A and B are shown apart, each in its own frame.
Chain A
Amino acid sequence: MELPEEKISYLQLIKNGIFKENTIFRLVISLCPSIAVTNSIRNGFLLGVAVLFVQTMVNTTVGLLRHFIHPRIRIPIFMLIISGWVSVVDMLMAAYAREAYKEIGLYIQIIVAFASILARAEMFASKHRVDYSFFDGLGSGLGFLIALVIISFFRELLGRGTLLGYPIVHAKPLLIMVMPTGGFLVVGLLMGFFNWIDIRFYGGKGAGGAGGH
């Protein structure tokens, strides 16, 4: 059932993942981690990197194995692949980033259940060549990473008055920003802001121009 694939440029795929189909600001999925771990830039960045890695590897694996996976049992197979790669990240972090692992370890394990990972595997990787799948995973993971860093930048700055742990603002911080409530507020306002940019400067056609598909 392999159709002759049309050519997609790799850059286009990455741009698509970052702008047009940004996991958080466009597709609005995987909001739970984007609110739970983004109260400091370090945590947001680490989880972003973990997701980037898992997303890329899962997409590659699924892209490689897609002819061997029977369509009827594809979702369980995807879950097995995802949990395999998540275990890899989990053990790596437990070994080499002890301190951060204590704080966000739970969310590393929960990457298994992230909608964004399964969505990319199902929507893209199972239907495209392995190199396209790789770059799609890379773009989507980068989009997630960037979104997490932007959100946690504002939350750490407003909620603790620090950036990467260094004190920046010497005023009383807004306590609400480090709580989940503040996470929702920041995500919502940023989403509105990006939509506004999109409409104002790009005519509402997706900030990355005409991306992948």
Chain B
Amino acid sequence: MAVARKEQELVVSVSPHIRSEETVARIMWTVSLSLLPAFVMGVYYFGPRAIFVTALCIVGSLFSEWLVQKMTSRPVTISDGSAFLTGLLLGMNMPATAPFYIPLVSSFVAVAIAKQLFGGLGYNIFNPALVGRAFALITWPRAMTTWIEPSAAFVGMDAKTTATPLGLLKEEGMNRLLEVFGDRITLYTQLLIGHRAGSLGEVSVIAILLGAGFLLIKRYITWHIPVSYLATVAVLAWVFGGKEGLFTGDPLVHLLSGGLMLGAWYMATDYVTCPSVRKGQILFGIGCGFLTMLIRLKAGYPEGVMFAILLMNCLTPLIDRNLKSRVFGERKEAKK
């Protein structure tokens, strides 16, 4: 697994070399740590139930990893943190009201089927956490789309159900959304802080950006995928998002709502399932953005980040193979 490095920096030195301190485990645990702010915001808005759901996902993931590796007599690698991260991301993609069997079953699907049956870490085609969530969404459509209103206090026991901003936007339009939130500025601030209905880890954009910024500084992720992804979404939302014709959409609402931020910074940048060529990463981001907006604006679901990333995951090998830079010094193959 490659750690993102500065490009065009080729240091040639004589041995002995100092080995990099980065290991798979270190990266996985750091990424998990960087998700902490977003998770804390989720718990703050949706109460202890959010901890319960996420904990079940993590336990389910770790157990599935252990079980499959025991059954296939491979070395057990639950301490490398990759199953923990999958569980954490899956949990953060669930509504806090999910009944207990949803996290357990979908984390099993995520780790046992989408990851271990494909050969384990590094061999999976699809992002395991997203496969788990897609399975849950298709299997329990009602439970997975019942959102509760965020309540800052820890009393969310009789929480009201409500629609997500994207759901409102899709079903009833921009004006209704403004009615609910007040004016545009309030809408943007609320979305930025995360005071809205949604999956428990996706609501707070600012907390996600905080974690993502940390990863960028550590160079665990690069800007290519998220930035091209977000830019594509913004442009398409501006051009096609409005009801009154072209160029009347509101890109900020589309950028700040739904699972876009979590998806763009944490899911699309998964080392295993995204292209490793820089040009390919930009193409991957554009593709994700295009598919996301296609689903958001034209398809049956209000949110399309999950399916967009999964679909682009299929294309990753193709992108990598076709955009690999040529090795210099090789002779060109004669044309047949």
Contacts and interface: CB of A to CB of B under 8 A. Distances in A.
B135 interface: yes
Interface string A166-180: 000000101110010
A192 interface: yes
B173 interface: no
A179 B140 CA distance: 13
Contacts of A192: 117
Q: Which of A176, A179, A189 is the most central at the interface, judged by chain B CB atoms within 10 Å of its CB?
A: A176
A179 B117 contact: no
A95 B319 CA distance: 53
B117 A176 contact: no
A181 B117 contact: no
B122 interface: no
Interface string B131-146: 0000100111100000
- Mostly, the A contact residues are helix
A66 to B, nearest CB: 40
Q: Which of B117, B135, B139 is the most central at the interface, judged by chain A CB atoms within 10 Å of its CB?
A: B139
Contacts of B138: 175-176, 179, 181
Interface string A101-132: 00000000000000000000000000000000
A50 to B, nearest CB: 30
Contacts of A189: 113
A192 B71 CA distance: 14
- Mostly, the B contact residues are helix
Nearest to B137: A176
Interface residues of B, number: 8
A134 B140 CA distance: 47
Contacts of A172: 140
A174 B117 contact: no
B140 A175 contact: yes
Interface string A151-183: 000000000000000000000101110010100
A74 B140 CA distance: 50
A57 B329 CA distance: 62
Nearest to A185: B113
B143 to A, nearest CB: 9
Contacts of B141: 175
Interface in B97-113: 105, 113
Interface in A185-213: 185, 189, 192
A170 to B, nearest CB: 14
Nearest to B136: A176
B107 to A, nearest CB: 15
A176 B144 CA distance: 13
A122 to B, nearest CB: 31
Contacts of A181: 138
B135 to A, nearest CB: 6
Contacts of B113: 185, 189
Contacts of B140: 172, 175
Contacts of B139: 174-176
A8 B135 CA distance: 47
Nearest to B143: A172
Nearest to B141: A175
Nearest to B142: A175
Q: Which of B113, B117, B138, B141 is the most central at the interface, judged by chain A CB atoms within 10 Å of its CB?
A: B138
15 contacts: A172-B140, A174-B105, A174-B139, A175-B138, A175-B139, A175-B140, A175-B141, A176-B135, A176-B138, A176-B139, A179-B138, A181-B138, A185-B113, A189-B113, A192-B117
Given A175-B138, A175-B141, A176-B138, 12 more contacts: A172-B140, A174-B105, A174-B139, A175-B139, A175-B140, A176-B135, A176-B139, A179-B138, A181-B138, A185-B113, A189-B113, A192-B117
Interface of A: 172, 174-176, 179, 181, 185, 189, 192
The 4 closest A-B pairs by CB, nearest first: A176-B139, A176-B138, A174-B139, A175-B139
